Structure 1
């Protein structure tokens, strides 16, 4: 007999009763140690982090629910007998699994037989079905991002903090950081002491306790200031928390005040997130300061996005608050952040909106209204401005009133929608709700929060690498499914995001993000670990391929930028062949002082590349390269062909050719290419027929071995 699934309210009620048990805080302390801490040696490895991603581990939102329920009444901190504690822990695991199952939609919820004939019917945009990914969708940010971005978010409000709260935003950050350091020490100490205690006396609770005096010593801040910070994140008010979607005060105010001088904090992540989110409500409650606070909040998202993009593209390519005017000087649109790199652009619109409690409860109308305010409006503005950007009848002015002198022959424009607040299941909601258009130039939108932008610009710190990832991520759109975007980015860093046309869907599990998690911890927290995941950023470091990409980044020339994007999409086998070819023609040039070339076609990508290596003057070299490329493009019947001319010492690009036009049959060209040597493609072993052997001499009246079709005396020997 199949056991009938209980209602969510019934399971939640049982969980609430369990959390009210005497001494339940000791069960929470154990669960926090079990599921929130990472044990490691001197160096943290990906496997250390991977252990915490098991499906049988509780996520932070689940533990926060336990804390919220336990603190509804009087908190009893007496340690229960071991058998009682074990019962509390095991029953908690059982009820939370059952609670998760009760939230999962049934097949009847998903597939309504009465609606199957309606082509517009989409059960996944219903609030009832979105509740589960909203609650269980995982974290959108690393804990240290909440801490570090708090300063940037509130530093303009610092005077208000000093006057109204008795501490600066930097004081708050230092106190929170010190609590983390203090708890790490205490957890390690408890681990050492645990085995010496009788089983009935074992508990991790003391590791999560601290006093203002202890924090003051670690932070080197006056104890009165420390108390002001701690008390600001303590709430003693009675509250209603009767369902999973109700507001849980222990998320906004996670520090628990114990009798005497002690405080209790179970999850440092919750405090760092509260540091990022809760102060805004203090500012908003001050009616006289509210408007200023709102202005600073909006400015933060724009300024932060601009600074992160400057890290990749340079300050000269990133423009903040660009106004678009008609010829009659009428304001037609405003771009929060504009990035221009060669013939590519990013049009970024930022919003500071949160998902409301009513939306979390599954209210369809509120859910879609929240999304409209947070994302849809930002996208609509981004698309409008992208369209205006293409129209040269509109003029662009920066925030100082200066007209922007930029080239506007764009091949691709990427609309960005940036959210500055934690927005649960953002990518999943964008998949369901966002209505967007695309053109040949304006691509699909990229919806993200400031935390993802922060990580993307940290790991992909070159224009080509970042734009290449953006291109593929937005092109694949709904074909890639993951609980959060960091998993997709991590997969790209390891494997070069690519999806064959024969596949309609790619599902990525959360454990793929561990290398990225480790890299960010290493970079931002200073732990001993690998700072760059092994993959696309490390595999070819220092090779001719790597040098070519760096050269293309520096040139910012549309004629070679397109080639850069193509090169970042090719297979590892093709890259190895390219490295071999470049190395060989450079070596030959050094040995005989003659001009040499290398031809490579990329069958799956429908393009080809010719590289000439010589010391010729650019005026001579470009004519020869152009002729060679046109002949080879025609012979291969491709729509795109690229040419580069490099010097004989390093793969430093002297000039580039970009031939992108539809192949058309020509009798004249048939005659010119009939004796053209066969080009090399990446499926074969490298043995370029376009490079003359050092031993074989070429007569002056023979056809040039570079493949241009001209006599040797009028080509590479000239």
Structure 2
């Protein structure tokens, strides 16, 4: 195997070959563009996950090498063009192997504190998947720099809204021109084939599409146009000027943009560095960046939990002494979410594989934030602090906290974040404190977009942190997409699960359709669709609306069970309600789960509330004992499916002669038991003028009399 530097040197020579830019344009078109008919489907998106495709960091590397010399725009002969393309893919495969050599040879020592992790992490840092969608970078830039309008207008000549409008227009122009260029190629002889013109654009074209004044358009394009030869880009981890300034100037005054993702990423990241270089404005820029991160988290979580349950900048006091600070506190029943937000990123030195710098960056971005959240979680559970708002008013929690979830959120793309969290973060898990969930704002946005109700979102967080040590993924969008499709629940028999990148295609498609207005299915087929409109789904929504600790606990359980069991519960609810409507008596069914470690009794009881609650509790007590369960849930419904009351029995099982006697006639094997429904339906005589047992509310003669049952 050749060294990384040797392969990089050969790539540099290839990239400055006569007319190579045409071959690179072909690669960008082949590997970055998706075609679809009528509406976009997952199969269309799958081409972005082929192993032969070059990813964004690889293409950016090639562009960074192309600009190091005067670009030769002459179109090569077809054979030369093909040789350029084939050689590029071969060299990039070799380059990947060279970067990944340290990781491969050190696989057994990953996580060993005595082993330097820098060289090992270079591969996941360089080749890790993107954590942000292009439209997130573009749209969040307006939020991120909304308070910097005066500086941007005076120093750069444009507003952030205008810049976002220009970038959006560039995407539309590029899509149209690339398609038109490709169609024109089909009518031309092979010797004239090139897709390069599709990537070129002028300020006038952008003005026409964006509606932004030509003066501002030119100012935006100038700000993101490359001004140097990128000679300092001497290896893949060095600063690459085209990442910050991706527009390449053309001899005729237009610009070339080979990769649209680069311009949206630059829009999100570069303005901060411009402002940080201004000594007079630097402090203000840092302040605004921190405020943006907290505001973003508050806005996204408020959409799910409601403004009354999302509190910002909560201080914990013991007497007159401040014991802790919480950036964002979320309440849902007796569950709390403590969010600590940071505006830190992976430095250039860390990307080069500097072991000490990687750990220092992680300490500032994640570890400090986690330890702060952990301290606050301990105080919240202990109840030994007074919570105060920024206005110094006391905050009273609605319930005594049972569990605290810690979310550590960063505002920028942090390469290999999940991988680094496994390596460097020492977690403390105790009763009531869940393992931390490390994420960026882009994941939080996707989570709150797809899981838009409290129980769904918190249920996913609960499952994700529960399986943190079992799951191997390149980035968190993969796990979220898998959850939407299959439910992220791993049994004890799974020691380690590796999820490949292409699993995220379903989520990628749904987010693109929702945010870009492309025709297609807004929600992946899975946990959000298979029970839509059923009694089971209506039960979940009621639990969310109540926010009651007893029913929240049940809600978590219901979100982890398999599809077949969900359907049994759905059928059971419909059956006991049908029976209760028919005869006015109490009907119930029981479901035991996890080899009878947990179970559920659901009653439909039209009777008086207190009596119904006592009957439910007594029945659950007996069922729990019969199956020697660790935990048991009970739920009482009215005949309109509304929840009347709930109960949770959570205590160790102990043998009792008295309980043995009381439960002597009860079924003792795990499973699903419906109380006498089929027998009743077969024996009870239904009068013509009785209510139909189907639950329609109509008389039997008007409904099912004479019809097949």
For the criterion TM > 0.5, the same-fold answer is yes
Partner of 1:292: 284
Alpha-carbon contact 1:581-1:688 (below 8 Å) kept: no
Alpha-carbon contact 1:389-1:408 (below 8 Å) kept: no
Instruction: Find the aligned partners of 2:356 and 2:544 in 1 and give their Cα distance.
Output: 46
Partner of 2:430: 439
Q: How many equivalent residue pairs? A: 684
Alignment of 1:274-423 (within 5 A): 274-326=266-318, 328-407=319-398, 409-423=400-414
- The RMSD of aligned alpha carbons is 1.9
Which deviations, in whole Å up to 9, do the C-alpha atoms of 1:572-627 show, x marking residues without a partner? 12111111111111111222222222222224361121122122221221111111
Match of 1:249 among 238, 241, 246: 241
Match of 1:214 among 205, 210, 233: 205
Partner of 1:83: 79
Q: Indicate whether 1:654 and 2:641 are aligned.
A: no
- Report the CA distance between 1:689 and its aligned residue: 4.2
Alpha-carbon contact 1:280-1:293 (below 8 Å) kept: yes
Partner of 2:661: 671
Instruction: Find the aligned partners of 1:678 and 1:414 in 2 and give their Cα distance.
Output: 36
Instruction: Find the aligned partners of 2:569 and 2:433 in 1 and give their Cα distance.
Output: 32
Partner of 1:59: 55
Match of 1:568 among 518, 541, 559: 559
- Report the CA distance between 1:391 and its aligned residue: 2.4
Alpha-carbon contact 2:402-2:432 (below 8 Å) kept: yes
Alpha-carbon contact 1:392-1:408 (below 8 Å) kept: no
Question: SS at the partner of 2:666?
Answer: coil
Residues 289, 80 of structure 1: alpha-carbon distance in 2 compared, 3 angstrom cutoff: same
Instruction: Find the aligned partners of 2:517 and 2:593 in 1 and give their Cα distance.
Output: 42
Partner of 2:150: 159
Question: SS at the partner of 2:17?
Answer: coil
Residues 580, 111 of structure 1: alpha-carbon distance in 2 compared, 3 angstrom cutoff: closer
Alpha-carbon contact 1:599-1:679 (below 8 Å) kept: no
Instruction: Find the aligned partners of 2:676 and 2:360 in 1 and give their Cα distance.
Output: 63
97-106 or 405-414: bigger deviation: 405-414
Which deviations, in whole Å up to 9, do the C-alpha atoms of 1:27-63 show, x marking residues without a partner? 1110000000001111111011102210001001111
Partner of 1:258: 250
- Report the CA distance between 1:523 and its aligned residue: 0.6
Partner of 2:464: 473
Which deviations, in whole Å up to 9, do the C-alpha atoms of 1:288-341 show, x marking residues without a partner? 111111111001111101111111111111111101111x22111110011111
Residues 270, 194 of structure 1: alpha-carbon distance in 2 compared, 3 angstrom cutoff: same
Alpha-carbon contact 1:610-1:642 (below 8 Å) kept: yes
Partner of 1:693: 680
Instruction: Find the aligned partners of 2:103 and 2:255 in 1 and give their Cα distance.
Output: 46
- Report the CA distance between 1:121 and its aligned residue: 5.3
Instruction: Find the aligned partners of 1:322 and 1:428 in 2 and give their Cα distance.
Output: 31
Which deviations, in whole Å up to 9, do the C-alpha atoms of 1:61-105 show, x marking residues without a partner? 111001000001112222122222111111111111111111122
Instruction: Find the aligned partners of 2:118 and 2:629 in 1 and give their Cα distance.
Output: 49
Instruction: Find the aligned partners of 2:21 and 2:393 in 1 and give their Cα distance.
Output: 60
Question: SS at the partner of 1:416?
Answer: strand
Match of 1:96 among 92, 95, 113: 92
Instruction: Find the aligned partners of 2:157 and 2:37 in 1 and give their Cα distance.
Output: 40
Question: SS at the partner of 2:467?
Answer: helix
Partner of 2:692: none
Question: SS at the partner of 1:657?
Answer: strand
Alignment of 1:156-235 (within 5 A): 156-235=147-226
Instruction: Find the aligned partners of 1:675 and 1:465 in 2 and give their Cα distance.
Output: 38
Partner of 2:3: 7
Question: SS at the partner of 1:477?
Answer: coil
- Report the CA distance between 1:697 and its aligned residue: 7.5
Alpha-carbon contact 1:680-1:689 (below 8 Å) kept: no
Partner of 2:541: 550
Alpha-carbon contact 1:284-1:293 (below 8 Å) kept: yes
